[in-house]
Chain A
């Protein structure tokens, strides 16, 4: 690594407390965290979410065999002694490929198994990254980071450094039971497939205390993350799969917003409120949202610029060229932010003119994170809460301090709110009563 790269990483680490990377986005963040959960619980269940990582070991399991079968890169000839016939391979491939996580924009037919991960329906399915090294015939598979680049470790650090000890304990207990392996057919399938994986690796747990800075004095998102995770994992009435899916959306969303909050703080501007537009046609809110997506790019650049130590050479340059350089150097962070929001359903596209939106799985996660288990909340209150706590504006909030609110007509907000309510209703998350009262709830209530 060159000294320039090291200086760049130091700057980014200084601003964000970890190194956000474009490649390490969306669901990979949650999947890396789940891999840590499994890894720690396999060897040291008592140390799970313990902030002190001294002497802690964790196990890394790859599931490379099942992933390669799922992506169709293993022909029958290579499976001699493992698969008895073509039909068995076809059935296994169909089964495994049905269980892969599908991210928006991802090529479902891609046979790059290193970027395809299993949805953790069962604790047995959780796995770490793996990649291939060397050329044939000496090519070998090693358990090493491919897309897991540390964002999942940030989630682990945020949850383990919760000063509210009872909450941390509850989250640790429920999280472990969420990923318990059981005797289900799925668990048996993966347990047997795992016998053909490369050997699991037991490693020292990374020192998260020194490598990750949460910047809790600047951003509220670590605290929001913890509260939301507690609300999700303690929701016993909700099927396990739904709770895991909610976590997979909620955790990356929080981290992306945390990155934005830190960039804004470094650039010395208030944390922006996202203009969330759900309408198809062009309107004032969509225009505002589109310009925000562009503006946020410059917030990351300004943050970078603000944190770079000024030296003579830099001062000699014009401000335009300094900004250009900052733009280039903050590209990884901006990519992390937009790609993560796009993958979890908070951004409508990964290219072109984009605007912030909210898709049904993300809205389910937000409801789960915002409401206590078994409780319901008035829809208007929920929209207000999203605006004040999650800093995402869907309807006209009853708060002041957002400059652009005045530029948008009430009718636009009303239509947006109504579309959001319809989306929640279609997902079974909202019950509308005849007196115009709508209640939001994550569980399907009678």
Chain B
């Protein structure tokens, strides 16, 4: 007689346990209804939050006598509301009371607390409550208010839309700060009355240390509480559970640190590719990958249908799930970090020295189906296709696994970024070497459609008139010697001492892009911002790889910067340097005669 009840209880013991940590992570999944566990207003979880740099910064800012308007902006999910709650808590308001006060006064009309200097503090929790015009007027009124300090939280898009409806003086001040902060690092106006903290510059990593940023903290928070995970040892499904397997792989002393660092490295590459990763998206992606998109009840279902079946788990292991294969297109596109991670997916990067070490016969216990067991003889094309798909799936699985298990040196190469290490060295302050300069020159010339020359040569910049794809020849507008090329990390940190409030010191900062500086003799300079993808493309193009159609957006962006390089001043000579079919010629028009020579 089957004693099993509908809820799975057999009598005496529950065969499959429910882990509270897994349930908590499940509420953070991107496909979980509303992802309510990650929205402060809907979350009643009192677990400790990640102590951000901005929390201390905003506490100091509200205490300053000059401060009148502090705008916390950035994409949804960076933690703006959470920061306001923390601020009120720091000023002596209880957590429950802080929640109540914030939600009951959306217009910032009442005093929510007093700063340590006794000034009234008002907070607008979310500018998105108001239509653009109303929000714009509200900002202008706040700036004109006589006393007190007001903190305004605004998603960057809505803030810009609201500001675009106004012509008030403060409007242009705020827009200027937003536009210039990434180059100058300044986050306040000259009088330091308006401060804009743009959390889109907040990194999920702290500096270059994978062990110290938000990702490392979140992994610890999800995985390291033994009291939460001990229940799994009593679960009957523990031997077939991919969630427990992922947790084991990320906590076993011998390999855990390396694997966690690899997770952080992946996030670092995603950020360096120019994608803003909010804390909410980072938590969504991490929780989803650690659980493989499932929870204890799903595991229970599988256990009931096959207690020893180990063929389904491999897709749910953290090193596979982090690339979002099982998510639908809509969910994936709503989280830019997933799209960016998929672009860097090591499963699709073929490196001979890596692939040669794989052995299909030596797959771990939770593995994809062995292609050799599919068909005894492949008679039809459909069977052959099935076999090829199966081999591909195995290789994708093994490459991804190997990426997280690999040592640091070739991690970026496995992400398809052959020149990623060089880029990160530049981010960390290295200077351009001669060979690297030539590589960048080759890449920039290729972007303009000029075949590169062997050996050291100046950067040839063609007249913007010849950027179109129909050009078979081009006029050279300028040549810059390699010594005029240098790199710098943005924002410029040289004026860090001028103001107490600098972008780098107000958020969790990690540099993400470099600026290639072209010094123009007799003139100023032109800077070209480069993320890790643009840098990789430039390096590859210099080696001959080119696909202008696929990377049209990148090419257009590079050309828009190169087009700013001015032509040299008037020359006495009437010579014009031209490139025709890769050959450089000099055209001369003396006395109405067209002459040319190589």
Contacts and interface: CB of A to CB of B under 8 A. Distances in A.
Nearest to B564: A239
A105 B461 CA distance: 31
24 contacts: A82-B592, A83-B593, A84-B593, A84-B595, A87-B596, A92-B587, A98-B468, A98-B471, A98-B473, A99-B465, A183-B570, A183-B571, A185-B475, A188-B574, A188-B589, A189-B587, A189-B589, A192-B589, A377-B164, A432-B157, A433-B75, A435-B75, A435-B158, A438-B157
Contact of B557 (A85, A182, A428): A428
B472 A434 contact: no
Interface in B159-193: 160-161, 164, 179-180, 182-183
A444 B179 CA distance: 11
B157 A436 contact: yes
Given A121-B464, A439-B164, A188 B576 contact: yes
Given A188-B589, A428-B556, A439-B160, A88 B470 contact: no
B28 interface: no
Interface in B560-598: 560, 563-564, 567, 569-571, 574, 576-578, 580-581, 585, 587, 589, 592-596
Q: Nearest 9 pairs between A and B by C-beta?
A: A433-B157, A437-B157, A434-B75, A94-B473, A192-B589, A435-B155, A121-B465, A183-B570, A98-B471
Interface string B289-315: 000000000000000000000000000
A195 B593 CA distance: 10
Contacts of A376: 160, 164
A183 B161 contact: no
A121 B470 CA distance: 15
Contacts of B468: 98, 102
B567 A88 contact: no
Interface string A418-446: 00000000111001111111110000111
A66 B477 CA distance: 20
Contact of A437 (B161, B278, B563, B569): B161
Contact of B132 (A88, A182, A378): A378
Given A95-B587, A108-B470, A437-B157, 16 more contacts: A82-B594, A89-B594, A91-B587, A98-B465, A185-B476, A186-B463, A188-B589, A189-B589, A192-B574, A378-B132, A432-B157, A433-B158, A435-B156, A436-B157, A439-B157, A439-B161
B72 to A, nearest CB: 14
B157 A435 contact: yes
A189 B475 contact: yes
A437 B580 contact: no
Contacts of B567: 182-185
Contacts of B571: 183
B366 interface: no
Given A98-B474, A428-B557, A90 B580 contact: yes
Interface of B: 75-77, 128, 132, 155-158, 160-161, 164, 179-180, 182-183, 276, 278, 463-466, 468, 470-477, 552-553, 556-557, 560, 563-564, 567, 569-571, 574, 576-578, 580-581, 585, 587, 589, 592-596
B596 A437 contact: no
Contact of B472 (A98, A119, A427): A98
A97 interface: yes
Contact of A434 (B77, B475, B557): B77
Contacts of B594: 82-84, 88-89, 92, 192
Interface string A67-100: 0000000000000011111011111101101110
B156 A433 contact: yes
B521 to A, nearest CB: 16
B465 A119 contact: yes
Contacts of B564: 239
A94 B472 contact: yes
Given A119-B465, A433-B160, A435-B158, A95 B475 contact: yes
Contacts of A445: 179
Q: Which of B75, B157, B158, B563 has the most CB of A within 10 A?
A: B157
Contacts of B556: 427-428
Contacts of A185: 463, 475-477, 567, 576-577
Contacts of A91: 473, 578, 580, 585, 587, 596
Q: Which of B76, B132, B585, B596 has the most CB of A within 10 A?
A: B596
Contacts of A433: 75, 155-158, 160
Interface of B is mostly: mixed
B576 A189 contact: yes
Given A98-B472, A239-B564, A435-B76, A87 B161 contact: no
A239 B564 CA distance: 8
B470 A192 contact: no
Contacts of B552: 426
Interface in A101-130: 102, 108, 119, 121-122
B560 A239 contact: yes
A241 interface: yes
Q: Which of A99, A122, A185 has the most CB of B within 10 A?
A: A185
Contacts of A196: 592
Contact of B464 (A97, A102, A239): A239
Contacts of B132: 378
Given A84-B594, A183-B569, A185-B567, A375 B164 contact: yes
Q: Which of A102, A189, A377, A434 has the most CB of B within 10 A?
A: A434
A446 B473 CA distance: 33
Contacts of B182: 446
A184 B576 CA distance: 9
Contacts of A186: 463, 465, 475
A97 B466 CA distance: 10
A194 to B, nearest CB: 10
Nearest to A183: B570
A432 B339 CA distance: 15
A87 B580 CA distance: 10
Contacts of B595: 84, 88
A42 to B, nearest CB: 20
Contacts of B76: 434-435
A81 B567 CA distance: 30
A183 B589 CA distance: 15
A235 to B, nearest CB: 14
A102 B596 contact: no
Contacts of B596: 84-85, 87-88, 91
A98 B553 contact: no
Contacts of B569: 183
A287 to B, nearest CB: 28
A446 B179 contact: yes
Nearest to B560: A444
A215 B564 CA distance: 42
Interface string A230-245: 0000000001010000
B135 to A, nearest CB: 11
A446 B179 CA distance: 5
A186 B574 CA distance: 11
Nearest to B590: A192
Interface in A391-436: 426-428, 431-436
Contacts of B157: 431-439
A122 B75 CA distance: 42
Contacts of A121: 463-465
Contacts of B589: 188-189, 192-193
B477 A98 contact: no
Contacts of A434: 75-77, 155-157, 276, 278
A108 B468 CA distance: 14
A435 B474 CA distance: 44
Interface string A147-173: 000000000000000000000000000
Nearest to B163: A376
Contacts of B577: 185
Nearest to B181: A446
A241 B563 contact: yes
A377 B160 CA distance: 9
Contacts of A81: 593
A83 B466 CA distance: 23
